[in-house]
Amino acid sequence: MLKEFKEFALKGHLVDLAVGFIIGGAFGKIVSSFVSDVVMPPLGLLLGKVDFSELFINLSGRPFATLAEAKAAGAPTLNYGMFLTAVLDFLIVAGVMFIVVKQMNRLRKPVPAPAAPPMKECPFCLSAVPLKAVRCPACTSELK
């Protein structure tokens, strides 16, 4: 098992995976900042000066003016504004990943189909026979 792991690590797959993971984490932070700092404020302004990070449903029955007050009091809340922000983060990351994968697939060279062997026709049964064949596989006639 240790030998298999050593082979796996030395082939470079582990390093590729680690680099992808680190870049993905950094990209996620950039997208989160983009959504919360660039997209959501103008969207909130368009929707009537709404701060999405302050949208919540108070489940305690006691009135709270802000989410911070509710959290300080230990009141249970449904933070649907933060959830909407997280959904938008996910949609942006998924969209970007879709575009990246689509472009990578487009740039990847297509694998050519194997060339069909040259064929000839059997004079007796008219079936297709490889050019170098000396006997027809369909009717077993000898070919010249």
Q: Is 131 left (phi over 0), alpha (psi -120 to 50) or beta?
A: alpha
Average pLDDT over residues 71-99: 87
- Quote the pLDDT of residue 12: 66
In the chain, where are the structural domains located?
Answer: 2-111, 117-144
Rounded to two decimals, the pTM is 0.55
In the predicted structure, residue 66 carries a pLDDT above the cut 70: yes
Burial class (CB in 10 A: 0-12, 13-18, 19+), 52: buried
* E runs forming strands in the chain: 57-58, 77-78, 119-121, 128-130
Specify the fold of 2-111: 1.10.1200
Helix axes 13-33, 80-107, angle to 10 degrees: 130
